[in-house]
């Protein structure tokens, strides 16, 4: 039930996001750690965010490198909650057979929720969770740091 509400909220936020002043408005490239909640593996992640100009929407992508190789793309609504801090939610797809979120599927849908904060002029930290809409594991948390530009 809670999972369904989180996914519905993230997808609804991607459709109609109010513009809020003070959020994080920048592009970034990042590196992080993907934590398999089953305890089977921990993988590295590289990715980025493209901040769409004039609307609170971002395009996000990442590659996961470890025991398995995969990645994902998502469109998110970005909600500025304080100066240089966003909550974000949206949806997209994850790819890569054998990864924790994909299982035996090549491509599965995902809902994404997270938070990001600019902690210095060129540095951002983030934490997010991908909720798989198929595959074996229903969620995958990730944390990391990025370079803002």
Confidence band for 139, pLDDT divided at 50, 70 and 90: confident
Q: Between the ranges 11-15, 16-20, 51-55, 131-135, where is the mean pLDDT highest?
A: 51-55
Across the range 83-102, mean pLDDT stands at 86
State the pLDDT at residue 137.
65
Across the range 35-63, mean pLDDT stands at 90
Does position 96 have pLDDT exceeding 70, yes or no? yes
Does position 135 have pLDDT exceeding 70, yes or no? no
- Region 2-148: CATH code: 2.40.160.20
Across the range 131-148, mean pLDDT stands at 86
Confidence band for 109, pLDDT divided at 50, 70 and 90: very high
Confidence band for 81, pLDDT divided at 50, 70 and 90: very high
Considering the chain, what is the average pLDDT of its residues? 83
Confidence band for 38, pLDDT divided at 50, 70 and 90: confident
State the pLDDT at residue 128.
96
Burial class (CB in 10 A: 0-12, 13-18, 19+), 4: exposed
State the pLDDT at residue 36.
79
Confidence band for 6, pLDDT divided at 50, 70 and 90: very low
């Amino acid at each position: 039930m809670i999972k369904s509400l989180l996914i519905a909220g993230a997808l609804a936020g991607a459709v109609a996001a109010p513009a809020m002043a003070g959020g994080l408005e920048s592009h970034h490239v990042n590196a992080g750690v993907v934590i398999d909640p089953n305890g089977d593996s921990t993988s590295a992640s590289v990715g980025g965010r493209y901040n769409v100009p004039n609307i609170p929407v971002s395009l996000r992508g990442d590659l996961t490198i470890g025991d398995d190789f995969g990645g994902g793309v998502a469109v998110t609504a970005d909600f500025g909650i304080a100066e240089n801090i966003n909550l974000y939610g949206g949806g997209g797809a994850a790819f890569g057979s054998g990864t924790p979120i994909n299982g035996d599927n090549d491509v599965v849908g995902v809902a994404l929720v997270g938070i990001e904060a600019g902690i210095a002029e060129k540095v951002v930290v983030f934490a997010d969770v991908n909720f798989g809409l198929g595959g074996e594991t229903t969620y995958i948390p990730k944390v990391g740091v990025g370079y803002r530009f």
